[in-house]
Amino acid sequence: MSDDFEIDTDDLKRRMDGAMGALRTEFASLRTGRASASMLEPVTVEAYGQRTPINQLGTVNVPEPRMVTINVWDKSMVGAVEKAIRESGLGINPQLNGTIIMLPIPELNEERRKELTKVAAQYAEAARVAVRNIRRDGMDQIKKAKADGMSEDDQKFWETEVQDLTDTYIKQVDDALETKQSEIMQV
């Protein structure tokens, strides 16, 4: 193999890592019937003239398996944080206790669990598509290098490298989905 043509697999790997990171973030926002501070990550509050994540307005704790508490630092922001949680679509009803907002996490019924597994599958499919698009970019680089004079042996080598990388990340997506679905279905 000659070193004249080098395909940037590090860039492809970095971009595929980004797709996996986005998938993990989406999975973290899915409620599983168990309290988690990460379920509040997508919720932002209109505070001090801009959209602000809840974890920058107070301390988020999980004191027990079915309860999340937020100790809001600024008393004037308690109402805004409560409103943002109510309107977030998480299906949680906040309860106020001074500057502490308590979020009791209700049990999920079987129907809702099945809906959530379908949503998780959609997130995973979007991640697979992202990984395949990155693979396509890598294959396009190889085709361009082939047109610029890359040998057929080098072309086959790089195509195998890119495909192996893609297969590894698709398996990671599938494993993450399987884990998340079993977590959702756990009663």
| Cα separation values, 180 from 14, 50, 74, 167, Å | 23, 33, 35, 20
Express each pLDDT in 1-20 by its tens digit. Answer: 444 667 888 999 999 999 99
- pLDDT-based confidence at 35, cuts 50/70/90? confident
CB burial of residue 35 (10 Å; 0-12, 13-18, 19+): buried
3-class DSSP state for residue 48? coil
Alpha helices (runs of H) in 30-151, residue ranges in sequence order: 78-86, 110-147
Express each pLDDT in 120-145 by its tens digit. Answer: 899 999 999 999 999 999 999 999 99
- What CA–CA distance (Å, rounded) separates 177 from 91? 22
H-run or E-run covering 51: strand 50-53
CB 119 within 8 A of CB 19: no
Express each pLDDT in 57-75 by its tens digit. Answer: 999 998 888 889 999 998 9
- Going from the N-terminus, what domains does the chain have, and what CATH number goes with each? 9-27+109-185 (1.10.132.20), 34-104 (3.30.1360.40)
Q: Mean pLDDT, to the nearest integer, of 86-96?
A: 81
